[in-house]
Structure 1
Amino acid sequence: MEAISAYAICRFSDIPSQRAIGFHLMILDEDGTPRPWPIVVIRWGKQVFGYVNRCPHNGVNLDWERNQFLDTNGTRLMCGKHGSTFELGTGACVDGPCKGQTLTPIALAVLDGDICVTGMRLVEDDGVGGDEGA
């Protein structure tokens, strides 16, 4: 039985409450081929939510500018291209062209103060080019 992997992507304290941050990760497909995997992580108080950064309407990234994911009220994720809005906790589209569809959730856990992606195989960069120490 293979252990579930957990990959730390940032400190819990790196994302202020009621904010969303995008990450550009690399995932390994079943055959071991790496491919880009953009995700968005939202912190709301002590909770974290994560989704693939891809609008179900037409596959574009949600953010219209870097790390601009939330609507003007700061309470829903919003697609910058067509204005679809999504519930933070479920990823369900509640308004816009993809109403009724859902963002693809990702499994997150907070371990020892780090927000970690779990259950996926990521390409590890071995500390090269990261934001460590920043």
Structure 2
Amino acid sequence: MDTDLVYAICQLNDIPSQRAVGLQLVRVGQDGAEIAWPIVIVRWGRQVFGYENRCPHHGVNLDWERNQFLDPNGIRLMCGKHGAQFELGTGRCMDGPCKGESLTPVPLVVLDGDICVVGVQLAEDAEDEEFDAPATCDEEA
């Protein structure tokens, strides 16, 4: 992972605490090809956790409706298709058909109030588009 690569994708305050939002990014593969990269970001106070928006059970998106990622208690990520539940801080499946498996983490840091992806090359156009479009973060999650 190249930790010199840092892309601001959203402001911390764009995501309410104890909420999760999905973003559609585009990363650059090792061959230079652009790859769609849907992610989910969970904010818990000043902490953020990021995962690819893909359940390890069948590879489906976690959200059953737009930006609906958390279980009814709001304490775990939940797959809308099969009900698998994942720990917020580790991405590990605690209940459901993929128990013991984990979500794929997305390396995030908070710098100067911005949530940033670290070590992953994003397509420049997508990065600019996402940073200008945190309306996905502003909407009720």
Coarse TM-score class (shorter-chain normalised): over 0.9
Which residue does 1:131 correspond to in 2? 133
Q: d(CA) in 1 for partners of 2:82 and 2:72? A: 14
Q: Report which of the two has the higher share of helix.
A: 2
Which residue does 1:85 correspond to in 2? 85
Matches within 5 A, 1:44-55: 44-55=44-55
In structure 2, the CA distance between the partners of 1:31 and 1:66, relative to structure 1 (3 Å rule), is same
Which residue does 2:64 correspond to in 1? 64
1:110 equivalent to 2:107? Answer no
Query: Could you tell me whether the CA contact under 8 Å between 2:25 and 2:122 is conserved in 1?
Result: yes
In structure 2, the CA distance between the partners of 1:128 and 1:85, relative to structure 1 (3 Å rule), is closer
Query: Could you tell me whether the CA contact under 8 Å between 2:70 and 2:78 is conserved in 1?
Result: yes
Amino acid at match of 1:93: C
What percentage of aligned pairs have identical amino acids?
A: 63
Give the secondary-structure state (helix, strand or coil) at the position aligned to 2:105.
Answer: coil
Query: Could you tell me whether the CA contact under 8 Å between 2:15 and 2:43 is conserved in 1?
Result: yes
Any stretches of 5+ residues in structure 2 without a counterpart?
A: none
Q: d(CA) in 1 for partners of 2:59 and 2:41? A: 18
Give the 4+ runs in structure 1 shifted more than 2 A: 126-130
In structure 2, the CA distance between the partners of 1:128 and 1:94, relative to structure 1 (3 Å rule), is closer
Which residue does 1:73 correspond to in 2? 73
Q: d(CA) in 2 for partners of 1:22 and 1:5? A: 21
Which residue does 1:37 correspond to in 2? 37
1:124 shift after superposition: 1.7
Amino acid at match of 2:10: C
Q: d(CA) in 2 for partners of 1:127 and 1:29? A: 18
Q: d(CA) in 1 for partners of 2:27 and 2:122? A: 4
In structure 2, the CA distance between the partners of 1:90 and 1:59, relative to structure 1 (3 Å rule), is same
